[in-house]
Structure 1
Amino acid sequence: MALPMLAAKRPLPAQVAVYAFVTVPFLALVAAVPLAWGWGLSWLDVALAAAFYTATCLGTTVGFHRYFTHGAFKARRSLRIGLAVAGSMAVQGPILHWVADHRRHHAFADKEGDPHSPWLFGTGPAALARGFWHAHLGWVLDRDLTNQRRFAPDLLADRDIRLVHRLFGPLTVLTLLLPAVIGGLATWTWWGAATAFFWAGLVRVTALHHVTWSVNSVCHMIGERPFAARDRSANFWPLAVLSMGESWHNLHHADPTSARHGVLPGQIDISAWLIRRFERAGWAWDVRWPTPERLARLAAG
């Protein structure tokens, strides 16, 4: 008998934490506009925000997504743990929840059962507005949890990954406080610690949240579709750099296990570049690189 899609509801304390993780960084982003107007932002804050954004975003795109969810390559244990930790520090949920949700998304893409399709409520203007909200953020606030035994049994059986999953709370604290510690030590002031916490902690987290959620929402609504996929996934080039190549979403849904998503000329895919570096260093192997023949078949539909 097939296991059910949903396992249980998120406990109330965890649900409150989800709301906090969504709203507090967002309020920080709203406050960032007046704070940036003449005070409260230094080049150190910019550098720290860019560094933490890049590291945690790649932990999500290369680690949570292309490696743990889709098995686009094999990795040494140290790299495997490092990617799990870096992805967790993006504050997008514990790794077992993230992977189970995303595998379920691919199993039912843009159909009933997809946890975050914008097309679940119809195609009229009101239905699409509701669908956009659901795909972008509404689904994150849903208390229903995807069944990990059905969608992520391989990771449930991995002791290292179970440990990283349990450490999501401490890793969330670390990803917010570490920039403050670095900023305070670099400037030797409490103000330097406070601005680093604000920009490289709170604002960085919410910016990465909305870039990732835009792949779920925008990249299933508008953009180009050069490859044949069984859903409405599309390429949205303005997000390519910020998403580290994830917004080349059409090829990803046409060929989910591919290590490279941006395969056409001019399509920047920073995540694929990093996977190539890991491969050349001997940390990753059996990388599923797309071939011209396969791309031709996918383009032909």
Structure 2
Amino acid sequence: MPQHVALITGASTGIGFEAARKLASHGLTVYAGARRVELMEPLKALGIHVLALDVTDDESMRAAVGRVLEERGRIDVLVNNAGYGSYGALEQVDLAEGRRQFDVNVFGLARMTQLVLPGMRAAGRGRIINVSSIGGKFYEPLGAWYHATKFAVEGMSDSLRLELKPHGIEVCIIEPASTLSEWGRISADGLLASSGTGPYADQARDLAAVLASTDKPGSSTRPEVIAEAVLHAATAVRPRTRYPVGRGAAAILTLRRLLPDRLYDAAVTLVLKRIAG
């Protein structure tokens, strides 16, 4: 049998970058796609195929999938990792930004899935791995757009899992906790730009401090740990439907499941203030 072929989106940094390395090191033929192609140069040295890929551009997505199919004739694993966090008070965030958040985090994921499914169905097997977040199960103030997209990914993945089961295609969800990457700093900058002044400024400053702190060693989980979960989802004979992974993931999800909404609201507010100092 030929090597399994994996296509990963958002592979220029963080989880996507490390997942590409991890899958390649375990014998998969890996295609890594992202907008910032120059950041993926180190992946080429590992034999990973690098693609220009923008998940908000249909032509770009078609071209990426088409190249893999032309060169390999198959895509066995799709890792939908591309995404970012848009934060700010709902009142202050322009609707165009809200739509872009959904375009990247939800519609890009859905379109990439549409493009690979015909081949997977014809083969009678395949894996769709959607990188969600523990933020698809809980919430924060000023995170309405981001959390809405991750809640959407959770529901979409669950429905997709059932509809693809008769075709031999597995659907798995990766639910990372805070991960050591540029994600938190970029999200904090966007938050302060939209809500750093005005009626939500106090909340914005607290949450921005929390988000910015996630890129400090020791405060978050290294992306290599998340990549291990991606590897298991891609290669296990019977993968789990969900992989909550990272520092505090299990505790946070347990609290959300057990606490009534208003008590959880109070806990979130208290924790954010304490972390922000």
With the shorter chain as reference, the TM-score category is: under 0.3
Q: Which has the higher helix share?
A: 1
Q: Which has the higher strand share?
A: 2
Taking structure 2 as the reference length, the TM-score comes to 0.28
Larger relative CO (CA 8 A, sep 6+): 1 or 2?
Answer: 1
